[in-house]
Amino acid sequence: MNIIDGIKHRRTIKMFKPDPIREEDLLTWLEAASYAPNHRMNEPWEIRFVGAQTRAKLQHKTDFGGAPVVLAVLSKPAPTPFERDENVMAVACFVQNLLLAAHEAGAGVFWSSMGHSPQNREILGVPADYDVIGVLGIGYPAEVPALKARTPITSKIAYLP
């Protein structure tokens, strides 16, 4: 799969087969994700695998579409708001890399922002100064939604003198 095809054909997956994901594959995708750009090489991502008890407490409306794996991706705190933003940006790049690595292997990811709420942060045991970039359901797709067309990129471009 070339990069452009991978980027364009990846979809948010909301219905998963029960088939497990091999830990070795997950670690391969996470390791690949860690090649995301990050300022000062501070590698600000942290991953929490969500076990059955914690997952039940989260009460996600579709239980992450039945994904066999749920994990939370956190962004580390920083001394200034600007550096905190940079960390969040780097961790978003990490997540996109993970999505693409999983996609290339025929798996898929549901990126949920539910980890943002105070209640879910508490359930996930997130320290006060960390950001939750996403709670991700990962598995093999039972259903792949149709492509969602994007706005022509030329309408988003301005050329400065």
Here's the x/- map for ligand FMN, 45-64, by CB under 6 A: it reads as --------------------
151: phi then psi, degrees, rounded to nearest 5: -65, 140
Listed ranges 54-62, 77-85, 110-118, 151-159: which one lies at the site for ligand FMN (CB under 6 A): 110-118
Find the binder of ligand FMN among 29, 111, 130, 140 (CB under 6 A).
Answer: 111
Q: Which is nearer to ligand FMN, 69 or 114 (CB)?
A: 114
Here's the x/- map for ligand FMN, 113-142, by CB under 6 A: it reads as xx-------------------x--------
- Cα angle, residue 87 at apex, residues 75 and 151 outer, rounded to 5°: 100
Q: Which of these, 18, 122, 109, lies nearest to 71 by C-alpha position?
A: 109
Q: Residue 108 and residue 125: Cα distance in Å, rounded?
A: 26
CA-CA distances (angstroms) from residue 124 to 28, 56, 114, 157?
Answer: 24, 11, 11, 39
Is residue 12 within the footprint of ligand FMN (CB under 6 A)? yes
Q: How many Cβ atoms from other residues are within 10 Å of residue 15's Cβ?
A: 17
Find the binder of ligand FMN among 6, 11, 66, 83 (CB under 6 A).
Answer: 11
Quick check: 64 and 137 in contact, CB under 8 A? yes
C-beta of 16: minimal distance to ligand FMN in Å? Answer: 14
* Chain residues in the site for ligand FMN (CB under 6 A): 11-12, 111-114, 134, 148
